[in-house]
Amino acid sequence: ARPLLPAPHTAANVQPPQGHFDAATGEFQFVVDAAHRPPRPWVNVIANAGFGFQVSEAGAGYTWAVNSRLHQVTPWSNDPVTDPCFEHYLLQDLDTQALLPLHATPGSGTSCRVRHGQGYSAFESLHGALKAETTYFADVNESVKLVQLRLHNQGGAGRRLRALAMVEWQLGGARHERRTVRAWKSDSPALTAVFAKQRESRAGFGGATAFLSLSGLPGPLQWTCERSEFFDAAGQLVIPPALGQSATSGADPCAALAGEFTLAPGQNITLAFVLGHAADPAAAEQLARNWQSRDAAQTLEQVKAYWAGLLGKLQVRTPDPLFDALANRWLLYQTLASRLWSKAGFYQAGGAFGFRDQLQDAMAFAVIEPDRLRRQILLNASRQFPEGDVQHWWHAPGGEGVRTHFSDDLLWLPYACAYYVQVTGDLSILDEQVAFIDGPAIPEGAEDAYYAPQTSTQTATLFEHCARTLDKSLATGSHGLPLMGTGDWNDGMNRVGHEGRGESVWLAWFLCRVVQDFEPLARARNDAARAGKWLAAREGWISALHQDGWDGAWFRRAF
């Protein structure tokens, strides 16, 4: 057995690589070698609306489906020192038994050019006369991750090689949940895929099934579901000389596939590992069958075309090329892939819909994709209680989340709605009927309550949903400023107003702006009573801001 992990690199004399943005593609490119390594993992977040993954320069990261916190297909880690890998995509020279690193693996000494792009990350390496390019990407629509390996033998002698992947299943929100995972290989000789099913129904993911397959190699494949085959007596990760063809139920499951092939002088080959996910075993098997014959290279071009089409709708050109690269290629990409879809990054895998967060992020798409903001506004409105307050955050698919006394969350609904109408002129959104949610009030003396509310039989127009947030936010404290509750956009100030007396200067500013933007919509609907009430409250807040809120040189933060 060959060690799977090289000795860790030492920090002495290792410098950060000189990264740059490619003007033509927007890729962030850098080279990692023995003398150059990022001080912390430089990660690309890649996703579609319901599935995604992260990948660092070392090829580490994790994959999720539906919910990046509660349903991690493979384990997540935010350790910036070791950046552990739980999905291994490997290439081995069968004549020397040496590993040929495909990524910027710590301690390998191999030079690797890393290219993080929109929807993909590519790794270029050279092993003697063997050129390798490994590209990670996800399908635009389906819950499928592809790791495409393109090899070119530029030498005069053939190369005997072995492609191998080993992924450690989790299918849950914590490592211990792998114990209820059943792993097996399909009985169909025409389907080279290893499957894993989560048997526990916790968090609504019972029956969820993932698979690993390998396409592009004509010969037979080895497989195993036993992670223990990849450890020696000392507990070190190793590559076994052969895979044991073993299924498993619980304990320590994995999926491993390996195939051997020969690359003649001058020959090219393209193969692809496919990691997919579906709601149940039958759907997963069908998905695996569909992708067994799909063209990975064509899928990659579709991914690039999707992002180019979306981001190309709004472009800027300034004297600063760095600003242009961020504005034209990266800021909206990261907002959608990381914030709206993944709800995760390297340091945190939250998974939940943040009421304020998702509205703020969706507002960035008002010009280039206004329907995305429209859908987000209506979704958020469906997480409001009849009393006017909202869930601070909630998880899909069950809707469990936290009801709080945060004072700003609910106000982002009318703020985003007014902004949407200003940008698009679409007043019809105000008449959309949206159901409320029902659930118990926060217990007396408590700051929040976590539970899964029920969809209410009570519905109202979006305008009414927005109006109730303002109606609920008019109470003031002894200084005439709005009550802060347990936070006012600054979650860290949760104790300023938790007893019902604290007041927020920032919230007064925000309320003044929300009333300014939303009040005309009320008047246009002949709701003069509400509009007048909100305007009167606004005048009071402005007066309080200039009296007790102002100390003569600065605005105070809160009372």
| Tokens found for residue 548 | 């007790």
Per-residue model confidence (pLDDT) at position 14: 83
pLDDT score for 548 = 96
Q: What are the residue ranges of CATH 1.50.10.10 in the chain?
A: 352-546
> Would you tell me which CATH number, out of the four given (3.30.70.100, 2.70.98.40, 3.40.50.10860, 3.30.2000.20), belongs to the domain 28-311?
2.70.98.40
Integer-rounded Cα Rg, in Å, for the chain is 27
pLDDT by residue (tens digit) across 209-268? Answer: 999 999 999 888 999 999 999 988 888 889 999 999 888 876 789 999 999 999 999 999
Alpha-carbon gap, residue 511 to 515, rounded angstroms: 6
Nearest partner of 149 among 28, 4, 257, 289, judged by Cα: 257
What integer pLDDT is reported at residue 105 of this predicted model? 82
Q: Minimal CA–CA distance to 44: which of 171, 137, 167? A: 137
Single-letter residue type at 20: H
Look at residue 4 in the predicted model and tell me its pLDDT.
62
DSSP symbols for 127-142: ETTEEEEEEEEE-SSS
Q: Which burial class, exposed, middle or buried, applies to 93 when counting CB atoms under 10 A from its CB (0-12, 13-18, 19+)?
A: middle
Tell me how far apart the alpha carbons of residues 455 and 374 are, in angstroms, rounded to a whole number: 21
Question: Mean pLDDT of residues grouped by 10 in the chain (559 residues)?
Answer: 56 82 94 93 98 97 98 96 94 96 84 97 97 98 99 97 97 94 91 94 90 92 94 87 86 94 98 98 97 96 98 96 95 98 96 98 98 99 99 97 98 99 98 99 96 98 99 98 95 91 97 99 98 98 97 96
What single DSSP character describes residue 547? T
Contact 474, 533 (CB under 8 A): yes
Give the H/E segment covering residue 53.
strand 51-55
For the chain, where do the domains classified as CATH 2.70.98.40 start and end?
A: 28-311
Assess contact for 358 and 340: CB atoms under 8 A: yes
Which SS3 state, helix, strand or coil, does residue 209 take?
strand
Angle at 125 between CA 8 and CA 59, to 5 degrees: 50
So what's the pLDDT on residue 48? 99
How many other β-carbons are positioned within 10 Å of the β-carbon of residue 230? Answer: 21
* pLDDT value of position 2: 62
Q: State both tokens at 287.
A: 């998905």
Q: Which residues make beta-bridge pairs with 6? A: none
Class of domain 352-546: mainly alpha
The Cα–Cα gap between 150 and 82 comes to 28
Q: Can you give the pLDDT at residue 251?
A: 77
Q: Which residues pair with residue 127 across a beta bridge?
A: 130
Q: Give the pLDDT of residue 202.
A: 77
From residue 86, alpha-carbon distances to 61, 78, 482 in Å are 7, 12, 49
Residue 5's pLDDT is 56
